[in-house]
Chains A and B, each alone.
Chain A
Amino acid sequence: MAKIKMDGLDDYIKQLTELGESVEGSIKRAVYPAAGMVIEAIKANTPSEEGVTNGLRDSAALVTFRNDSGYIYTEVVFEGYDSRGHPNPLKARVLESGSSTRQKHPFIRPAVNRVKAQAEALIAAEFNKICEEKMNNQ
């Protein structure tokens, strides 16, 4: 829990108002390192076989944060094409879910499951830190 120092009720109300006004940016700052943790876990779990899935690992990227009805989202996507001209998003989809002609090799969901709790804890810790900074620097 963030430790906040205040002197007087007027200052406290001002601090809370300013904190509320900057909350979207604060949440994005708090989510960013956790998103980094998740994408690194996915990359580490991405198969990398010469000629088959080469390039897929490096094609993973975070998309710009967006605010949808107060919820802050980002996504991990696979961008671009491999050296043979095959789209990386399609390759990731086929690996993750399989098809009637290819066995599946789930690598995204297991990676996310593995770091989910750590990422949530990191968001909470970062958000507390940011709130503490903002409230104590005003």
Chain B
Amino acid sequence: MNELETALTATGLQFAHFGWSKAPAGDYGVYAEDGANDLIAGNAHTERIIEGTVDYFTRDADLAAKALIEAALNGCGAAWYLNSVQFEDNTGFIHLEWVFQVMG
């Protein structure tokens, strides 16, 4: 997870782990672990895999942050997919959500 955190921070975008106590002004993101997908062999967890999500809330319809975040996910060796893109009509945010897996 440290590599993921470093890679997301290096994008220059605003990110917090698990959540913000108060959402910052402007666009922002959250990343959080929510499970595991360990490789089990010989009654042991031989490879530890952490699964989680990266969420980014932006009002930029060009989604400039999308390429930055996906490059960061690639750069830190995460396996990932874009799970959803949703528009919040009450806030105007576009919500992008990626599911990732990293070595734990």
Contacts and interface: CB of A to CB of B under 8 A. Distances in A.
A93 B87 CA distance: 12
A36 interface: no
Contacts of A97: 55, 83-84, 86, 95, 97
Contact-residue size bin, chain B (C-beta under 8 Å from the other chain):
20 to 34
Contacts of B91: 99-101
Interface string B75-103: 00000000110101011010101010000
A84 to B, nearest CB: 17
Contact-residue size bin, chain A (C-beta under 8 Å from the other chain):
10 to 19
A100 B97 contact: no
Grouping DSSP codes into helix (H, G, I), strand (E, B) and loop, the B interface class, with mixed when no group exceeds half, is strand
Grouping DSSP codes into helix (H, G, I), strand (E, B) and loop, the A interface class, with mixed when no group exceeds half, is loop
Contacts of B15: none
A93 B99 CA distance: 15
A103 interface: yes
Contacts of A101: 90-91
A61 B57 CA distance: 31
A110 B99 CA distance: 11
Interface string B44-88: 000000010101010000000000000000000000000110101
A33 interface: no
B88 to A, nearest CB: 6
A100 B83 contact: no
Interface of A: 93, 97-101, 103-104, 106, 109-110, 113
25 contacts: A93-B86, A97-B55, A97-B83, A97-B84, A97-B95, A99-B86, A99-B91, A99-B93, A99-B95, A100-B23, A100-B88, A100-B91, A100-B93, A101-B90, A101-B91, A103-B19, A104-B53, A104-B55, A106-B34, A106-B53, A109-B99, A110-B34, A110-B35, A113-B35, A113-B51
